[in-house]
Amino acid sequence: MPEVNTEKIFASFLLSIEQVSSVDEFNDLEKEYLGKNSLISEERKKLSSMNETSRKKYGKVLQELSTKINERLNEERLSFQSKFFKEKELNDNKDISINWYKDLGSREHILTSVMNEVVDIFSAIGYTVATGPEAETSWHNFDALNTPDWHPARYESDTLYLDENLEQLLRTQTSTVQVRHMQNNKPPVYIVAPGRVYRSDQLDATHSPVFHQIEGLAVDKNLTFSDLKGTLEYFVQEFFGKDIKTKFIPHFFPFTEPSAEVLVSWKDGEWLEILGCGMVDPNVFEHVGYDKDSQGFAFGVGVERLAMIRYKIDHIKNFYENDLRFLRQF
Protein backbone atom coordinates (compact mmCIF):
# COMPACT_ATOMS: atom_id res chain seq x y z
CA MET A 1 0.00 0.00 0.00
CA PRO A 2 1.51 3.27 -1.06
CA GLU A 3 1.48 5.56 1.93
CA VAL A 4 2.85 9.00 2.34
CA ASN A 5 5.14 9.79 5.18
CA THR A 6 2.85 11.89 7.38
CA GLU A 7 5.60 12.90 9.69
CA LYS A 8 7.65 14.22 6.83
CA ILE A 9 4.70 16.23 5.54
CA PHE A 10 4.04 17.70 8.96
CA ALA A 11 7.71 18.49 9.42
CA SER A 12 7.80 20.32 6.12
CA PHE A 13 4.59 22.18 7.13
CA LEU A 14 6.22 23.31 10.36
CA LEU A 15 9.25 24.45 8.46
CA SER A 16 7.12 26.59 6.11
CA ILE A 17 5.08 28.07 8.91
CA GLU A 18 8.18 29.43 10.57
CA GLN A 19 8.95 31.45 7.51
CA VAL A 20 5.56 33.15 7.23
CA SER A 21 5.93 36.93 7.14
CA SER A 22 2.36 38.16 6.44
CA VAL A 23 -1.20 37.12 7.23
CA ASP A 24 -1.83 36.32 3.55
CA GLU A 25 0.85 33.65 3.56
CA PHE A 26 -1.23 31.60 5.96
CA ASN A 27 -3.86 31.35 3.24
CA ASP A 28 -1.19 30.15 0.79
CA LEU A 29 -0.03 27.53 3.27
CA GLU A 30 -3.60 26.40 3.84
CA LYS A 31 -4.00 25.95 0.11
CA GLU A 32 -0.71 24.09 -0.18
CA TYR A 33 -1.35 21.60 2.61
CA LEU A 34 -5.11 21.30 2.75
CA GLY A 35 -6.37 22.67 -0.56
CA LYS A 36 -7.71 20.86 -3.63
CA ASN A 37 -4.29 20.19 -5.08
CA SER A 38 -2.55 19.39 -1.86
CA LEU A 39 -0.76 16.14 -1.27
CA ILE A 40 -3.40 15.13 1.25
CA SER A 41 -6.20 15.71 -1.26
CA GLU A 42 -4.30 13.73 -3.89
CA GLU A 43 -3.91 10.83 -1.44
CA ARG A 44 -7.60 11.03 -0.54
CA LYS A 45 -8.53 10.43 -4.16
CA LYS A 46 -6.75 7.12 -3.95
CA LEU A 47 -8.98 5.90 -1.11
CA SER A 48 -11.83 4.83 -3.40
CA SER A 49 -9.65 2.26 -5.05
CA MET A 50 -8.68 0.62 -1.77
CA ASN A 51 -10.28 -2.23 0.10
CA GLU A 52 -12.40 -1.42 3.05
CA THR A 53 -9.85 -2.18 5.75
CA SER A 54 -7.06 -0.26 4.07
CA ARG A 55 -9.45 2.53 3.18
CA LYS A 56 -10.54 2.97 6.78
CA LYS A 57 -7.07 2.76 8.11
CA TYR A 58 -5.49 5.10 5.55
CA GLY A 59 -8.45 7.47 5.65
CA LYS A 60 -7.95 7.84 9.36
CA VAL A 61 -4.25 8.55 8.94
CA LEU A 62 -4.98 11.29 6.38
CA GLN A 63 -7.75 12.75 8.51
CA GLU A 64 -5.53 12.93 11.53
CA LEU A 65 -2.82 14.64 9.54
CA SER A 66 -5.15 17.24 8.05
CA THR A 67 -6.72 17.98 11.47
CA LYS A 68 -3.31 18.36 12.98
CA ILE A 69 -2.21 20.74 10.24
CA ASN A 70 -5.42 22.71 10.39
CA GLU A 71 -5.31 23.15 14.12
CA ARG A 72 -1.70 24.18 14.08
CA LEU A 73 -2.31 26.54 11.20
CA ASN A 74 -5.17 28.36 13.01
CA GLU A 75 -3.19 28.53 16.17
CA GLU A 76 -0.21 30.06 14.43
CA ARG A 77 -2.38 32.42 12.42
CA LEU A 78 -4.04 33.80 15.56
CA SER A 79 -0.76 34.23 17.34
CA PHE A 80 0.80 35.83 14.28
CA GLN A 81 -2.12 38.24 13.96
CA SER A 82 -2.07 39.18 17.58
CA LYS A 83 1.65 39.81 17.42
CA PHE A 84 1.23 41.80 14.24
CA PHE A 85 -1.40 44.16 15.69
CA LYS A 86 0.53 44.56 18.86
CA GLU A 87 3.54 45.65 16.90
CA LYS A 88 1.44 47.95 14.74
CA GLU A 89 0.13 49.69 17.85
CA LEU A 90 3.56 49.92 19.39
CA ASN A 91 4.78 51.78 16.35
CA ASP A 92 1.92 54.28 16.60
CA ASN A 93 3.21 56.25 19.53
CA LYS A 94 2.02 59.88 19.86
CA ASP A 95 3.26 62.35 22.46
CA ILE A 96 0.11 62.60 24.55
CA SER A 97 1.63 65.36 26.64
CA ILE A 98 0.64 67.85 23.95
CA ASN A 99 -2.80 69.44 24.21
CA TRP A 100 -3.76 69.88 20.58
CA TYR A 101 -7.40 70.35 21.48
CA LYS A 102 -7.88 73.55 23.36
CA ASP A 103 -10.64 74.48 25.68
CA LEU A 104 -12.64 77.04 23.76
CA GLY A 105 -14.54 77.95 26.89
CA SER A 106 -18.12 77.22 26.12
CA ARG A 107 -20.07 77.00 29.30
CA GLU A 108 -22.67 78.61 31.38
CA HIS A 109 -21.45 81.64 33.28
CA ILE A 110 -20.42 80.60 36.78
CA LEU A 111 -23.22 82.70 38.30
CA THR A 112 -25.77 80.95 36.10
CA SER A 113 -24.54 77.52 37.09
CA VAL A 114 -24.69 78.42 40.77
CA MET A 115 -28.24 79.73 40.28
CA ASN A 116 -29.24 76.61 38.38
CA GLU A 117 -27.80 74.45 41.11
CA VAL A 118 -29.72 76.29 43.81
CA VAL A 119 -32.93 76.16 41.77
CA ASP A 120 -32.45 72.40 41.26
CA ILE A 121 -31.93 71.87 44.98
CA PHE A 122 -35.18 73.64 45.79
CA SER A 123 -37.19 72.31 42.88
CA ALA A 124 -36.46 68.83 44.21
CA ILE A 125 -38.52 69.70 47.30
CA GLY A 126 -41.34 71.32 45.41
CA TYR A 127 -40.32 74.93 44.86
CA THR A 128 -41.03 76.53 41.46
CA VAL A 129 -39.25 79.48 39.89
CA ALA A 130 -40.98 82.86 40.16
CA THR A 131 -39.85 86.08 38.52
CA GLY A 132 -40.54 89.77 38.82
CA PRO A 133 -39.39 93.04 37.28
CA GLU A 134 -35.92 94.44 37.94
CA ALA A 135 -37.11 98.02 37.49
CA GLU A 136 -39.57 98.10 40.39
CA THR A 137 -41.79 100.41 42.35
CA SER A 138 -40.51 101.68 45.68
CA TRP A 139 -43.66 100.24 47.20
CA HIS A 140 -42.79 96.67 46.18
CA ASN A 141 -39.15 97.05 47.14
CA PHE A 142 -39.63 98.81 50.47
CA ASP A 143 -43.10 99.63 51.76
CA ALA A 144 -44.64 96.23 51.13
CA LEU A 145 -41.60 94.69 52.77
CA ASN A 146 -42.19 96.68 55.96
CA THR A 147 -39.35 99.14 55.35
CA PRO A 148 -40.60 102.57 56.46
CA ASP A 149 -39.87 105.63 54.35
CA TRP A 150 -37.24 106.95 56.77
CA HIS A 151 -35.20 103.72 56.67
CA PRO A 152 -31.54 104.23 55.71
CA ALA A 153 -31.72 101.55 52.99
CA ARG A 154 -33.96 103.94 51.10
CA TYR A 155 -31.35 106.67 50.92
CA GLU A 156 -30.11 107.64 47.50
CA SER A 157 -26.62 106.70 48.59
CA ASP A 158 -27.70 103.05 48.71
CA THR A 159 -30.49 102.64 46.17
CA LEU A 160 -30.60 103.45 42.46
CA TYR A 161 -33.77 105.35 41.61
CA LEU A 162 -35.34 105.93 38.21
CA ASP A 163 -37.13 109.19 38.97
CA GLU A 164 -36.66 112.22 41.15
CA ASN A 165 -39.78 111.42 43.19
CA LEU A 166 -38.11 108.15 44.17
CA GLU A 167 -41.20 106.18 43.14
CA GLN A 168 -39.43 103.74 40.85
CA LEU A 169 -36.09 102.09 41.40
CA LEU A 170 -33.87 99.18 40.48
CA ARG A 171 -34.78 96.49 42.96
CA THR A 172 -32.26 96.14 45.77
CA GLN A 173 -33.39 92.64 46.67
CA THR A 174 -35.24 89.75 45.06
CA SER A 175 -37.66 89.85 48.00
CA THR A 176 -39.82 92.00 45.72
CA VAL A 177 -40.81 88.82 43.91
CA GLN A 178 -42.36 87.54 47.16
CA VAL A 179 -44.66 90.52 47.13
CA ARG A 180 -45.58 90.24 43.43
CA HIS A 181 -46.12 86.51 43.73
CA MET A 182 -48.32 86.68 46.81
CA GLN A 183 -50.40 89.47 45.27
CA ASN A 184 -51.27 87.10 42.42
CA ASN A 185 -51.31 83.67 44.05
CA LYS A 186 -53.07 82.17 47.02
CA PRO A 187 -51.24 79.87 49.45
CA PRO A 188 -49.75 77.31 49.51
CA VAL A 189 -46.71 79.02 48.02
CA TYR A 190 -43.31 77.42 47.52
CA ILE A 191 -41.15 79.56 45.26
CA VAL A 192 -37.57 80.53 44.55
CA ALA A 193 -36.81 83.75 42.69
CA PRO A 194 -33.33 84.01 41.22
CA GLY A 195 -32.33 87.28 39.64
CA ARG A 196 -30.42 90.51 39.38
CA VAL A 197 -30.44 93.17 42.06
CA TYR A 198 -28.84 96.60 42.14
CA ARG A 199 -27.12 98.86 44.65
CA SER A 200 -25.40 102.18 44.42
CA ASP A 201 -21.85 100.84 44.53
CA GLN A 202 -18.83 101.24 42.28
CA LEU A 203 -17.53 98.04 40.74
CA ASP A 204 -14.43 96.95 42.69
CA ALA A 205 -13.00 93.89 44.39
CA THR A 206 -15.80 93.53 46.91
CA HIS A 207 -18.68 95.61 45.52
CA SER A 208 -20.74 95.62 42.38
CA PRO A 209 -23.66 97.80 41.34
CA VAL A 210 -25.21 94.62 39.94
CA PHE A 211 -25.32 91.30 41.70
CA HIS A 212 -27.57 88.26 42.02
CA GLN A 213 -29.76 86.87 44.73
CA ILE A 214 -32.08 83.95 45.12
CA GLU A 215 -35.13 84.59 47.21
CA GLY A 216 -37.15 81.75 48.64
CA LEU A 217 -40.65 81.87 50.08
CA ALA A 218 -42.86 79.23 51.60
CA VAL A 219 -46.35 80.01 52.87
CA ASP A 220 -48.44 77.06 53.93
CA LYS A 221 -50.53 75.81 56.81
CA ASN A 222 -48.57 75.39 60.02
CA LEU A 223 -45.12 76.32 58.77
CA THR A 224 -42.94 77.07 61.78
CA PHE A 225 -39.45 78.21 62.65
CA SER A 226 -38.38 74.54 62.73
CA ASP A 227 -39.48 74.18 59.11
CA LEU A 228 -37.36 77.18 58.16
CA LYS A 229 -34.39 75.68 59.94
CA GLY A 230 -34.79 72.26 58.35
CA THR A 231 -35.20 73.74 54.88
CA LEU A 232 -32.04 75.79 55.04
CA GLU A 233 -30.02 72.99 56.61
CA TYR A 234 -31.14 70.82 53.70
CA PHE A 235 -30.04 73.49 51.24
CA VAL A 236 -26.63 74.03 52.84
CA GLN A 237 -25.91 70.31 52.88
CA GLU A 238 -26.99 69.84 49.28
CA PHE A 239 -24.87 72.75 48.14
CA PHE A 240 -21.75 72.46 50.29
CA GLY A 241 -21.82 68.77 51.22
CA LYS A 242 -23.28 66.59 53.94
CA ASP A 243 -20.44 67.17 56.37
CA ILE A 244 -20.84 70.90 56.62
CA LYS A 245 -22.05 72.35 59.91
CA THR A 246 -24.51 75.23 60.11
CA LYS A 247 -25.58 77.59 62.82
CA PHE A 248 -28.39 80.09 63.05
CA ILE A 249 -27.86 83.39 64.75
CA PRO A 250 -30.51 86.05 65.37
CA HIS A 251 -30.50 88.97 62.99
CA PHE A 252 -32.79 91.76 61.84
CA PHE A 253 -34.62 92.22 58.56
CA PRO A 254 -37.67 94.47 58.26
CA PHE A 255 -39.70 91.81 56.45
CA THR A 256 -39.16 88.81 58.69
CA GLU A 257 -39.55 88.11 62.39
CA PRO A 258 -37.87 86.23 63.93
CA SER A 259 -34.96 86.78 61.55
CA ALA A 260 -31.73 84.82 61.37
CA GLU A 261 -28.47 84.58 59.57
CA VAL A 262 -27.13 81.19 58.59
CA LEU A 263 -23.43 80.54 59.01
CA VAL A 264 -21.52 77.55 57.70
CA SER A 265 -18.33 76.14 59.14
CA TRP A 266 -15.58 76.54 56.62
CA LYS A 267 -12.06 75.18 56.79
CA ASP A 268 -9.93 76.34 59.72
CA GLY A 269 -13.07 76.45 61.83
CA GLU A 270 -14.05 79.78 60.32
CA TRP A 271 -17.78 80.52 60.24
CA LEU A 272 -19.08 82.33 57.17
CA GLU A 273 -22.49 83.92 56.74
CA ILE A 274 -24.19 82.66 53.65
CA LEU A 275 -27.79 83.68 53.88
CA GLY A 276 -30.45 85.62 55.70
CA CYS A 277 -33.87 84.26 56.57
CA GLY A 278 -36.83 84.48 58.86
CA MET A 279 -40.53 83.98 59.42
CA VAL A 280 -42.50 86.33 57.17
CA ASP A 281 -43.51 89.44 59.12
CA PRO A 282 -47.29 89.77 59.61
CA ASN A 283 -47.13 93.27 58.10
CA VAL A 284 -45.94 91.79 54.81
CA PHE A 285 -48.90 89.42 54.70
CA GLU A 286 -51.17 92.35 55.36
CA HIS A 287 -49.62 94.40 52.55
CA VAL A 288 -50.14 91.67 49.95
CA GLY A 289 -53.70 91.00 51.06
CA TYR A 290 -53.14 87.66 52.76
CA ASP A 291 -54.97 86.60 55.89
CA LYS A 292 -53.46 88.09 59.01
CA ASP A 293 -52.75 84.71 60.51
CA SER A 294 -50.93 83.36 57.44
CA GLN A 295 -47.64 81.79 58.27
CA GLY A 296 -44.48 81.10 56.33
CA PHE A 297 -40.81 81.76 55.94
CA ALA A 298 -38.51 83.52 53.51
CA PHE A 299 -34.81 83.45 52.80
CA GLY A 300 -32.32 85.18 50.52
CA VAL A 301 -28.98 83.92 49.27
CA GLY A 302 -26.28 85.95 47.54
CA VAL A 303 -25.22 84.11 44.38
CA GLU A 304 -21.83 85.84 44.07
CA ARG A 305 -21.14 85.03 47.71
CA LEU A 306 -21.90 81.33 47.21
CA ALA A 307 -19.58 81.23 44.19
CA MET A 308 -16.84 83.18 45.94
CA ILE A 309 -16.90 80.92 48.97
CA ARG A 310 -16.99 77.70 47.03
CA TYR A 311 -14.34 78.57 44.46
CA LYS A 312 -12.30 81.02 46.58
CA ILE A 313 -12.82 83.80 44.05
CA ASP A 314 -11.26 86.99 45.38
CA HIS A 315 -12.70 89.71 43.14
CA ILE A 316 -16.40 90.28 42.50
CA LYS A 317 -15.30 92.25 39.46
CA ASN A 318 -14.28 88.99 37.78
CA PHE A 319 -17.91 87.99 37.36
CA TYR A 320 -18.74 91.00 35.20
CA GLU A 321 -15.57 91.50 33.19
CA ASN A 322 -16.18 88.30 31.21
CA ASP A 323 -12.54 87.63 30.56
CA LEU A 324 -12.42 84.16 29.02
CA ARG A 325 -9.38 83.42 31.15
CA PHE A 326 -11.77 83.60 34.11
CA LEU A 327 -14.94 82.16 32.58
CA ARG A 328 -13.41 78.98 31.25
CA GLN A 329 -12.05 77.97 34.66
CA PHE A 330 -15.47 76.83 35.82
Partner 1 sequence: MKVLKSWLNDWIDVSEISNEDISEALESLGFEIEEQSDLNPNYSNIVIGKVLEIYPHPNADKVRITKTDVGSKTYEIVCGAWNFDVGAVVPVALPNSEIKDGFKIDKRDIRGVESNGMICSASELDLWDDHEGILILDENILPGTDFSSIYASSDYVWDIGITPNRGDCMSYLGIARELSNYFDKKITTKKSKLSPSITNILNTNSGKIKECDTYGSVEIENFKVSDSSFLIRYRLSNVGTRIINNVVDITNYILYDIGQPLHAFDRDKLFNTISVRKAKNNETLTTLDSQKRKLTSEDLVITDGDKPIALAGVMGGLETEVTDNTVNLLIESAYFDKVSIMKTSRKLGLISDASIRFERGIDFNIQKYGLEQFLMTLKESQDIKFSELSINTKNNIKNKKVILKKDEVKKLLGIELKDSFIKKTLKYLMIDAEINKDNIEFTAPSWRYDLDRPVDLIEEFAKHHGFNNFSSNLPQGLHKNEKGNFWKVKEYLSKILISNNFQEIQTLSFVKKEKNTVFNPEKNYVTVFNAIDKSSNYLRSNLMSSLLDTYMFNLQQNNILNSYYEINTVFDTSVDKTYNDVPNQHVVLGFITSANLTTQDIRKSNQNIDIYYVKSLINQLISDTQLEPLIKPGFHQNYSFSIFKNNEIVGHFGQLSTELQNNFEIENDVFLGEIYVDKLNLNELRLINYKPLSQYPFIKFDLSFSVPVEFSAQLIVDEINKLLSKNENEIEIFDDFQHENSRNLGIRIITRSYEKTYDDNETRQILMKISDSLETKFKITLNSGNND
Alpha carbon distances (Å) from 298 to 90, 216, 253: 64, 5, 11
Continuous segment of H or E residues that includes residue 39: helix 39-46
**Angstrom distance (rounded) from CA 68 to CA 14:** 11
Cβ distance to partner 1 smaller for residue 88 or 325: 325
Q: Residue 305, interface with partner 1 (CB under 8 A)?
A: no
Cβ distance to partner 1 smaller for residue 65 or 177: 177
CB of 138 to partner 1, least distance (A): 11
CB of 266 to partner 1, least distance (A): 15
CB of 44 to partner 1, least distance (A): 45
Q: Residue 190, interface with partner 1 (CB under 8 A)?
A: yes
- List, in order, residues 6 or more apart from 87 with CB less than 8 Å away: none
Binders of partner 1 among residues 32 to 51 (CB under 8 A) are none
Binders of partner 1 among residues 76 to 105 (CB under 8 A) are 99-102, 104-105
Which span sits near partner 1 by CB under 8 A: 8-16, 25-33, 72-80, 131-139? 131-139
Cβ distance to partner 1 smaller for residue 4 or 210: 210
End-to-end CA distance of the chain: 86
**Cross-strand bridge partners of residue 264:** 246, 272
Residue type, 50: M
As a whole number of angstroms, the longest Cα–Cα distance in the chain is: 127
Closest CA to 216 of 109, 326, 125: 125
Which span sits near partner 1 by CB under 8 A: 3-11, 18-26, 81-89, 163-171? 163-171
Cβ distance to partner 1 smaller for residue 19 or 106: 106
Q: Residue 234, interface with partner 1 (CB under 8 A)?
A: yes
CB of 310 to partner 1, least distance (A): 17
Which span sits near partner 1 by CB under 8 A: 31-39, 50-58, 78-86, 192-200? 192-200
316 alpha-carbon distance from chain centroid: 24
Binders of partner 1 among residues 203 to 232 (CB under 8 A) are 203, 208-210, 218, 220, 222-227, 229-231
Cβ distance to partner 1 smaller for residue 76 or 257: 257
Exactly one of 36, 45, 88, 325 binds partner 1 (CB under 8 A); that residue is: 325
Q: At what angle do helices 303-311 and 110-123 cross, to 10 degrees?
A: 110
Exactly one of 29, 66, 295, 298 binds partner 1 (CB under 8 A); that residue is: 295
Closest CA to 252 of 136, 147, 159, 142: 147
- List, in order, residues 6 or more apart from 248 with CB less than 8 Å away: 229, 232, 260, 261, 262, 263
20 alpha-carbon distance from chain centroid: 53
